[in-house]
Structure 1
Amino acid sequence: MGSPPSRPSSAKPSDDLSEGMPKDWMFWCIIFSFALSTLITAVEFTSIGTALPTIAHSLKGEQFIWVGSAYALGETALVPLCGGLSQIIGRRPIMLSALSLFALGSAICGAASSMNMLIAGRGVQGLGAGAIISSVQIMLSDLVTLRERGTFSGLIALAWAVGGGVGPVIGGSMAQSGNWRWLFYLNLPICAFCAIMILLFLRLKTPPATLREKLSKMDMIGNFLVTVSTTSVVTGLTWGGVRYPWLSGRVLLPLVVGLIGLVVFIIYEIYFCKPPVVPIVLRMDWTAASGYIQNFLMAVVAATLSYWFAIFFEACKDKSPTGAGVHIFGLSYSIGLMAIVAGVAIKKTGNYLIPIYIGWMLTIIGAGLLTTLRADSSLAKSVGFPVIIGSGVGIISVALLFPILASIPVTQTAPTMALYIFSRNFGYIWGVTAGGAIIQNELKRNLPASFLTQFPQGVEIGFETIPVIPSLEQPLKDAVLNAFGTALKVVWQLVLGVAIAGSLCSIGMKQLQLHTKIDNDWGRDELAVINHMWSRAPQREQQQQTDIEKRDQGDN
């Protein structure tokens, strides 16, 4: 589309589409496409937990932890690049490319004939998912003001929670019926539908620039550093204590190299790169920095719960994959509902500190209660305790956005959101990989030797043991159930420690004013034209009336 008409320099913020932007039917179609895109990424993230035992048994594969780690790695590695690219070539092309990548990865997973092929497909899926989540948050900032973000971030969080809630049920039911491949194939028409919605209704302005100017803004060194470093960290976390001992060089080397690489990336971005991938770090104060740290820690908690809690019902409560998915509804939907509540409250009050404090308090209480769960705990406790921690996570997941965005000018929204999503997705990696490593290490110590002899491949395929638990004779069955219960208790202890660390990081944050502007270099392109047309409408009507009166006088 052509450039929108220029606006008077004296226009107020509300006059230049920065406040009170009309929420027409096209706007809600865009929001729906954002929500649906987010929903399918959540389904893929959470459904694999209940389906993985069946998939591992079907493909006869080892290193099943990489099925989750590859997805989380893909979600994280290229997010900073997505933020830069969206700033250079525009938001819509990145979103469409993200949906295409997600569809491609889904097709590879559905056609997988081996565990390695499945892992590769999950990595491609993750690349698309990370770009989808990042693009949605960036474009949402282009469409609504920060004060309005609470409500709309809550809606997107609710979509993620709905996907997280139905994901385990979908994954479990398809695995139980032997149709686990459709868990991936069903993404193809949904991705196509979302892409059509984006093509039809999303029109965002893109600042003009030549190809040379756009390429000169690409920070290839920074993106290379963060991608390689993240991959190295994930490799060390995934192998630690499972494939190799924690103190072995094959675990310590990638961990140390990856963490040093991330430090080098930050130093490079601050002092050497022009323009940097994440320029916002140049002006980061404690309020914003604390927001990023808490965002990472919250993601560790959320990923650990979403990915591993269904295993508690399958391995300790003798539930089917579908039944396990149903029993974690309380966890999933408490996250989404409380995210909506938090978003509305922040919009009305402008205060984000109180929700953050309340959210961490609920998370700590819920995590503490989870550590008391055993294989023989009542079903009421097993279903009810996660609702408390889910409520806390839901509140925090929305509230942490505000201290970060309130600390920066609106022109820095895209790189800021890219760093925000990167810190969250990096936390997802730790939640998935650390949880899996803990479970495998604890199973190695606690599973009866007589049971382990049935699996010569070793404890690394521990998930393949879950489908055979219902057929075990007593007392072996109870011993296996208790072994899984003990392993998961250590995971919940990790969650408790992370929640306490997150609450401590919230100390010293400031309450900043939530601005009511958006970056007018972006936003909906057609709205500028519509607004201009409407602003001229009274003049046109007056001119038409004058012409009619002159014509009538001439006729007389």
Structure 2
Amino acid sequence: MEAGQVETLVKVDTLVNEQAVADAKRESRVSASVPFRRDLGFWAILLACFIATLLTAVEFTSIGTALPVIVDELGGGQFVWVGSAYTLGSSALLPFTGGISQILGRRPVMLVALALFALGSAVAGAAHTMNMLIVGRTFQGLGAGALTSMSQIIIADMIPLRERGSYNGLMALAWAIGGGTGPLIGGALAEHGQWRWLFYLNLPICGIDAILVIVFLRLRTPGGALRDKLRSMDWVGNMLITSSTTSVVIALTWGGVVYSWQSARVLVPLVLGLIGLAAFVVYEMKFVPEGVTALMVPPERTAFSGYTQNFLMGIVLATIAYWVPVYFQACKEASPIAAGVDSFALSYTISPMSVITGVLIQKTQRYRPFMWVGWVFMIVGVALLCTLGADSSRGSALGYQILAGIGIGIVYIAAYFPVMGATDVKQSTPALAFFTFLRNFALVWGVTLGGAVLQNQLKHNLPPAYLAKFPQGADLAFAAIPSIPTLPEPLKSEVRKAFADALRVVWEVLAGVTGVGIISSLFMKHYTLHTMVDEDFGRKEKHHSVDADSTLKVEHE
């Protein structure tokens, strides 16, 4: 045998052995069992995450039913920014929270997030101008994004993926309870002229949560010099994604409301933002080997599919949750409280379905079938929403929300598992930060894109004489709603029909989003849900664990 052939055989044999070792490591990671104690400290930490998730959900959903009253009191033309400022703040710095929590630890970041949320609540509650309210909502959003991300990261620190389904279901339950009660709370307080308490009530709750974090949240933080840790941060990537996200949201918020879509003030930030997001992906793949987006490219198409479905589901969730109350207030002349109650059909369908899905995934160790079923329910529910008219029965609107809510609840939980199943346990923190960022960024698109479509449609559908009563740049949805019950016929019917027709276009856009969602779900592979946690960030209390490399060594011996 020639020397070249021998060298080739050696290389092939080496590659085969390396692949066998990699497969064995993965198998050992799957079979290694990491027990965790469900003691008082564990449940207290879980409660802190539950409260944090509840707070963020209430603030996201409550503003919609309260905003017509707030607008009437504060005035101003930038109404759409009240919702967008919160979602922008909750997305812009979110990827940064994962990296900084790797450096400083989970507890300091959680406490800073609570402080920002409380500060924003105090400023918003004390607001006497629309600009001051928007500033407060921005600070709230910054805190909310970090709280959402840190809650997911902390759960991953404590609980192996194989057993995480039911606990993620509890976090989804917190979101659903907050999302369900938010419109009712916002509507009730606004209707009684006490909308400021919508923000002030957050302050004692933040204090209680901070106490739980200080007393019980004791997780490990890897050692090393702070200077070296700071140098390891992906500063360029964080700068790119923060600036790009901000630019896109500004364009979506202004488009068709403050300026026309053809305006340079809309097109320039939109194009720059999208270019920046593309540059972020390229930079992460080419220059940051351990970057988050490295998890999205082939052969990990499963993670990419999970990220995509998570983003699209967030758009569906935000659009329905934020704009369905407008249908009830505009077309059914519902009060803010009644519109909040009518939103229960969505929120309290998402809630049980999320819990049930989490438990079933944990028991079956399968996630793909659930996601396919979830998208089918979403498509059917959204398609039926497209049939709603101004005179459709309230029961129809509630039933269609239920169908969509079943699908959202399933995918809300299930989309987590293709991402985490395809991700190495050491990369779980950046993966979860990016996963949460995409979901929160999707909420921005749901609120602002839905608002932009609605605004543009109302400009074309509302009677010209009625439309002329509103100043240029006014948010027509929230500015017009308070006056609808007092309008004479046939003007009232014309305005109600204009709202129904405008919202139908919103639902039609959403139907296209759900179609893309089910197509993206076809690219998932099945991954066995592993039983490992990242030992660098586990609870400080001593516990038994199994090291994957040690298991590998024993197996080979």
Please, what TM-score do these two structures have when normalized by structure 1? 0.90
Asked whether the 8 Å contact 1:75–1:128 carries over to 2, the reply is yes
Partner Cα separation in structure 2 for residue 96 and residue 476 of structure 1 = 52
Asked whether the 8 Å contact 1:297–1:498 carries over to 2, the reply is yes
Residue of structure 2 equivalent to 1:543:
none
Shift, 1:273, TM fit: 3.8
- The alpha-carbon distance between structure 1 residues 390 and 213, as it changes in their structure 2 partners (threshold 3 A), is same
Partner Cα separation in structure 2 for residue 390 and residue 262 of structure 1 = 30
- The alpha-carbon distance between structure 1 residues 196 and 344, as it changes in their structure 2 partners (threshold 3 A), is same
Asked whether the 8 Å contact 2:296–2:303 carries over to 1, the reply is no
1:127 equivalent in alignment to 2:142: yes
Partner Cα separation in structure 2 for residue 28 and residue 362 of structure 1 = 33
Partner Cα separation in structure 2 for residue 212 and residue 22 of structure 1 = 34
2:511 to 496, 516, 528: 496
Partner Cα separation in structure 2 for residue 206 and residue 496 of structure 1 = 44
**Within 5 Å, which residues of 2 pair with 1:348-359?**
348-359=363-374
1:87 equivalent in alignment to 2:71: no
Partner Cα separation in structure 2 for residue 377 and residue 278 of structure 1 = 45
1:184 equivalent in alignment to 2:199: yes
**Within 5 Å, which residues of 2 pair with 1:144-543?**
144-273=159-288, 276=291, 280-281=295-296, 285-528=300-543
Partner Cα separation in structure 2 for residue 15 and residue 367 of structure 1 = 41
Asked whether the 8 Å contact 2:61–2:322 carries over to 1, the reply is yes
Asked whether the 8 Å contact 2:31–2:531 carries over to 1, the reply is no
Partner Cα separation in structure 2 for residue 505 and residue 170 of structure 1 = 36
Shift, 1:508, TM fit: 2.6
Partner Cα separation in structure 2 for residue 149 and residue 466 of structure 1 = 43
**What are the ranges of 5 or more consecutive residues in structure 2 without an aligned counterpart?**
1-27, 546-557
Letter of the 1:64 partner, please give it.
F
State the secondary structure of the residue aligned to 2:164: helix
Shift, 1:116, TM fit: 1.1
Shift, 1:527, TM fit: 4.0
- The alpha-carbon distance between structure 1 residues 415 and 348, as it changes in their structure 2 partners (threshold 3 A), is same
Shift, 1:277, TM fit: 6.1
Letter of the 1:247 partner, please give it.
Q
Shift, 1:384, TM fit: 1.2
Letter of the 1:161 partner, please give it.
A
- The alpha-carbon distance between structure 1 residues 132 and 387, as it changes in their structure 2 partners (threshold 3 A), is same
Partner Cα separation in structure 1 for residue 517 and residue 137 of structure 2 = 30
- The alpha-carbon distance between structure 1 residues 14 and 515, as it changes in their structure 2 partners (threshold 3 A), is closer
Residue of structure 1 equivalent to 2:23:
none
Asked whether the 8 Å contact 2:162–2:530 carries over to 1, the reply is yes
Residue of structure 1 equivalent to 2:25:
none
Partner Cα separation in structure 2 for residue 84 and residue 234 of structure 1 = 23
Query: Once the two structures are superposed, what CA deviation does each residue of 1:443-479 show, in whole Å capped at 9, x if it has no partner?
Result: 1111112212322345434412211111111111111
Q: How many residues align?
A: 518
Letter of the 1:66 partner, please give it.
W
Which 10-residue stretch deviates more, 331-340 or 445-454? 445-454
Q: Alignment RMSD, CA only?
A: 1.7
- The alpha-carbon distance between structure 1 residues 514 and 14, as it changes in their structure 2 partners (threshold 3 A), is closer
Partner Cα separation in structure 2 for residue 367 and residue 14 of structure 1 = 38
- The alpha-carbon distance between structure 1 residues 14 and 299, as it changes in their structure 2 partners (threshold 3 A), is closer
Letter of the 1:428 partner, please give it.
L
Asked whether the 8 Å contact 1:223–1:277 carries over to 2, the reply is no
State the secondary structure of the residue aligned to 1:526: coil
**Within 5 Å, which residues of 2 pair with 1:129-144?**
129-144=144-159
Residue of structure 1 equivalent to 2:555:
none
Residue of structure 2 equivalent to 1:547:
none
Percent identity of the aligned residues? 53
Shift, 1:122, TM fit: 0.9
- The alpha-carbon distance between structure 1 residues 456 and 215, as it changes in their structure 2 partners (threshold 3 A), is closer
Query: Once the two structures are superposed, what CA deviation does each residue of 1:124-147 show, in whole Å capped at 9, x if it has no partner?
Result: 111100000000001100110101
Partner Cα separation in structure 2 for residue 355 and residue 320 of structure 1 = 37
Shift, 1:278, TM fit: 5.5
Partner Cα separation in structure 1 for residue 220 and residue 135 of structure 2 = 35
Asked whether the 8 Å contact 1:64–1:461 carries over to 2, the reply is no
Please, what TM-score do these two structures have when normalized by structure 2? 0.90
Asked whether the 8 Å contact 2:156–2:428 carries over to 1, the reply is yes
Asked whether the 8 Å contact 1:226–1:262 carries over to 2, the reply is yes
Partner Cα separation in structure 1 for residue 361 and residue 72 of structure 2 = 47
Query: Once the two structures are superposed, what CA deviation does each residue of 1:34-70 show, in whole Å capped at 9, x if it has no partner?
Result: 1111001000000000011111111111121111111
Asked whether the 8 Å contact 1:81–1:277 carries over to 2, the reply is no
Partner Cα separation in structure 2 for residue 515 and residue 273 of structure 1 = 26
Asked whether the 8 Å contact 2:295–2:303 carries over to 1, the reply is no
Partner Cα separation in structure 2 for residue 473 and residue 215 of structure 1 = 64
Query: Once the two structures are superposed, what CA deviation does each residue of 1:374-402 show, in whole Å capped at 9, x if it has no partner?
Result: 11101110111100001100100100110
1:57 equivalent in alignment to 2:72: yes
Partner Cα separation in structure 2 for residue 13 and residue 431 of structure 1 = 38
Asked whether the 8 Å contact 1:106–1:121 carries over to 2, the reply is yes
Asked whether the 8 Å contact 2:30–2:530 carries over to 1, the reply is no
Partner Cα separation in structure 1 for residue 503 and residue 298 of structure 2 = 41
Partner Cα separation in structure 1 for residue 444 and residue 275 of structure 2 = 17
Letter of the 1:46 partner, please give it.
T
**Within 5 Å, which residues of 2 pair with 1:91-110?**
91-110=106-125
Shift, 1:26, TM fit: 1.8
State the secondary structure of the residue aligned to 2:37: coil
- The alpha-carbon distance between structure 1 residues 221 and 430, as it changes in their structure 2 partners (threshold 3 A), is same
Shift, 1:280, TM fit: 3.6
**What are the ranges of 5 or more consecutive residues in structure 1 without an aligned counterpart?**
1-11, 533-556
Partner Cα separation in structure 2 for residue 280 and residue 353 of structure 1 = 19
Partner Cα separation in structure 1 for residue 332 and residue 363 of structure 2 = 43
Letter of the 1:485 partner, please give it.
A
Shift, 1:244, TM fit: 1.5
Asked whether the 8 Å contact 2:153–2:429 carries over to 1, the reply is yes
Query: Once the two structures are superposed, what CA deviation does each residue of 1:248-298 show, in whole Å capped at 9, x if it has no partner?
Result: 211111111000001111111122247646554577611111111111111
- The alpha-carbon distance between structure 1 residues 131 and 60, as it changes in their structure 2 partners (threshold 3 A), is same
1:43 equivalent in alignment to 2:58: yes
State the secondary structure of the residue aligned to 1:487: helix
Asked whether the 8 Å contact 2:292–2:431 carries over to 1, the reply is no
